[in-house]
Amino acid sequence: MASILTRVWPRQKVFYGWWIVAAGTFVWFFGALTQTFGLQAFFDPMLNEFGWTRAETSLAFSLRTMEWGLEGPLVGFFIIRFGARKMILAGSAISILGFVILANVNSLGTYYLGSLVVAAGWGAGGNAPTLAAVVNWFRRQRGKALAIASTGAAWSGLGVPVMVWLVDTVGWRNGYLVAAAGILFLIVPLSFVIRDRPVPPRDYPDGENPSQTRGGEKERQREAVQAETSFGVLEALRTRSFWMLAAAMSVLGIATSAILVHELTYMLTMGWSREAAGLLVGATALFTVLGRLGFGTLADYMDKRYVLLIAVGCVALGLLLLSTGLGTWWLVLLFLIIWGLGFGGPISVQMALVADYFGPKNFPAIRGLFSTLQVAGSVSGPVLLGWMADVQGSYTLGLVFLAGLMITTVPLLLGATRPRPRAAAKEPAPAALA
């Protein structure tokens, strides 16, 4: 019987790169649940207990974002030097310490300290190592693989109502301790799934052995040329496209980071219950699957800059819809769809674009520098929107202002054309690849 089934449905070995993607998806899920979307569950109870302003509390998120950006280049070099698995283990230990500090907060300074320690750990051992591994394991399907891995953050939306319930039930201090336990018992064991790159002849990128596919010799030469023309870190910094892409994503980060921090509190000011607002935040995260998978897959077939432009337009429209207060069910649904496309799309597409433009060899370090330059937007967004809400007594003007700001990304993205390494610019391509 078993032999008959084997003939009808022959067993096919699952390409190990997809296991890397699965691990990365869960890492994104847990990180988003405890660091971004789910973070809002802690925001309001702490604000009420200590009497802090929205701007003061938002500053913790901005400080975390700033640290992620500033440590990005160093983390990238460490990933290249020590490998993804060791970085995940080291970062997990640091994050656990940070959550323990947050569970014992008694002042604004301690809150900032705990937030920075958690950020240091998660920046070193969270998304960055797993994404670096995904980039190495995929080439032809890189956009799709990165898109799938990034959906973990979207699926965390399912856990936001649970996080709100948890904080309301056991208190925000114990909630932080639960997050620490999750890292210890979930993320640490998962790190042993991660391998830095495929090692021929056992594995190849995309699971395709060039010698066993059509045009195998041509593919081997293409891989050799790609390896030779991968940008060095300093070489990437000398290109115009690097800076224009970083500037465009920094502007986009002003809006997205502001909503990550303030969406739940904004809906409370509009008369929503805490439970309903928590469900909206969870649904907002979940609907970003549309952008992550849709735009991530589309980016494998069309110019990634145009995909990013469409996503930015969705972000602007989503902000305008949110500014209305979402008074009807159809506005809520329209916001979720449009914001989901706009927020989710750039996350995987920009990473695939950086890998395409500058090559996989130094991707962790170049992406780290790229993240550093995005810090200005991600740090300023929550504080700016919080300050405008404190001054105006309403979030509406701030949301409209952020929507208008998105127009500045258009010339930046259109000007970020594919750079050419100096060696490639001087030497003609091999005849076999012409």
**Is pLDDT of 188 > 90?**
yes
Query: Under DSSP, is residue 173 helix (H, G, I), strand (E, B) or coil?
Result: helix
pLDDT at 52: 85
**Is pLDDT of 38 > 90?**
no
**Is pLDDT of 9 > 60?**
no
Instruction: Report yes or no on 58 lying in a domain.
Output: yes
Determine the Cα–Cα distance for residues 320 and 336; give it in Å rounded to an integer.
12
In terms of average pLDDT, the best of 58-62, 107-111, 207-211 is 107-111
pLDDT at 224: 45
pLDDT at 215: 53
Overall average pLDDT of the 396-419 stretch:
94
The answer to whether the pTM exceeds 0.85 is: no
130 exposure class (CB count in 10 Å sphere: 0-12, 13-18, 19+): buried
Q: Which domain, by its residues, includes 248? A: 13-207+231-418
Query: How many residues belong to the chain?
Result: 434
Q: What is the pLDDT of residues 319-343, one digit of tens each?
A: 999 999 888 889 999 999 999 899 9
Q: What is the pLDDT of residues 126-175, one digit of tens each?
A: 888 988 899 888 887 887 888 888 888 778 877 878 888 999 999 999 99
Instruction: Report yes or no on 62 lying in a domain.
Output: yes
Structure tokens that stand for 5 in this block: 């089934």
Instruction: Report yes or no on 384 lying in a domain.
Output: yes
Whole-number Cα distances in Å, 355 to 6, 142, 177, 224, 364: 39, 9, 37, 16, 9
pLDDT at 431: 38
Quote the Cα angle for 55-60-65, to 5°: 115
Considering only residues 225 and 30, tell me which one the structure prediction assigns the higher pLDDT: 30
Instruction: Count CB neighbours of 322 within 10 A.
Output: 27
**Is pLDDT of 275 > 70?**
yes
Instruction: Report yes or no on 124 lying in a domain.
Output: yes
pLDDT at 221: 46
Q: What is the pLDDT of residues 212-246, one digit of tens each?
A: 655 555 555 455 445 446 788 889 999 999 999 99
Instruction: Report yes or no on 221 lying in a domain.
Output: no
Instruction: Report yes or no on 94 lying in a domain.
Output: yes
pLDDT at 209: 66
pLDDT at 174: 94
pLDDT at 430: 38
pLDDT at 300: 80
Determine the Cα–Cα distance for residues 30 and 284; give it in Å rounded to an integer.
16
Instruction: Report yes or no on 43 lying in a domain.
Output: yes
pLDDT at 395: 92
**Is pLDDT of 248 > 90?**
yes
Work out whether the CA dihedral 227, 228, 233, 239 comes out positive or negative.
negative
Considering only residues 243 and 2, tell me which one the structure prediction assigns the higher pLDDT: 243
Provide the pLDDT confidence category of residue 39 given band limits of 50, 70 and 90.
confident
3-state secondary structure 41-97: HHHHHHHHHHCCCHHHHHHHHHHHHHHHHHHHHHHHHHHHHHCHHHHHHHHHHHHHH
Structure tokens that stand for 167 in this block: 């904080």
CATH number of the domain encompassing residue 24:
1.20.1250.20
Least Cα distance to 99 among 184, 11, 224, 204 occurs for 184
In percent, how much of the chain has pLDDT > 70? Answer: 89
**Is pLDDT of 201 > 80?**
no
Determine the Cα–Cα distance for residues 139 and 132; give it in Å rounded to an integer.
12
**Is pLDDT of 19 > 50?**
yes
Least Cα distance to 392 among 384, 403, 380 occurs for 384
Least Cα distance to 159 among 72, 286, 64 occurs for 286
* Domain total of the chain: 1
pLDDT at 429: 41
Alpha carbon 67 to its chain's center: 15
pLDDT at 422: 65
Instruction: Report yes or no on 250 lying in a domain.
Output: yes
Q: What is the pLDDT of residues 65-101, one digit of tens each?
A: 778 777 888 888 899 889 999 999 999 999 999 999 9
Considering only residues 10 and 338, tell me which one the structure prediction assigns the higher pLDDT: 338
Q: Quickly tell me which residue has 């160093």 as its tokens.
A: 74
Phi, psi torsion values for 14, nearest 5 degrees: -75, 125
Q: What is the mean pLDDT of the chain?
A: 83
